[in-house]
Amino acid sequence: DAKTTQPTSMDCAEGRAANLPCNHSTISGNEYVYWYRQIHSQGPQYIIHGLKNNETNEMASLIITEDRKSSTLILPHATLRDTAVYYCINNAGNMLTFGGGTRLMVKP
């Protein structure tokens, strides 16, 4: 079973920041937090990952709380093409267990 919980769905206005929360209260010390997204009828796409420090790349920023029990994925300027299901996963190896994810709808 997935070890993370996320809101089922969220809406965001185009051009605004999308903040997607994830709870992973049982995360172990050696487990990373990974974020993938899945656009309709495609395979999952890697976004970003982190262990305990905040991370930023060309796609998004990841904010991890100091106790590591939760994190937030930030898409700074959401576009219509960011409409997708976003999955937050924590693991220590190469296995990935997908939960329900958050269905983000970016609206004009």
Partner 1 sequence: GAVVSQHPSWVICKSGTSVKIECRSLDFQATTMFWYRQFPKQSLMLMATSNEGSKATYEQGVEKDKFLINHASLTLSTLTVTSAHPEDSSFYICSAESNGPKDQPQHFGDGTRLSIL
Q: Which residues contact partner 1 by CB under 8 A?
A: 2, 34, 36, 38, 41-46, 49, 87, 91, 93-101
Residue 20 CB, shortest distance to partner 1, in Å, is 16
Nearer to partner 1, 14 or 100 (CB): 100
Least Å distance, CB 52 to partner 1, is: 16
Contact 58, 10 (CB under 8 A): no
Q: Which is nearer to partner 1, 16 or 52 (CB)?
A: 52
Sheet of strand 102-107: strand arrangement: 9-13, 102-107, 84-91, 32-38, 45-50
Question: To the nearest whole angstrom, how small is the minimum distance from the Cβ of residue 94 to partner 1?
Answer: 4
Q: What 3-state class would DSSP assign to 45?
A: strand
Where does residue 5 rank: exposed (0-12), middle (13-18), buried (19+ CB within 10 A)? Answer: middle
Q: Of the two residues 88 and 106, which places its CB atom closer to partner 1 in the complex?
A: 88
Give the amino acid at 8. Answer: T
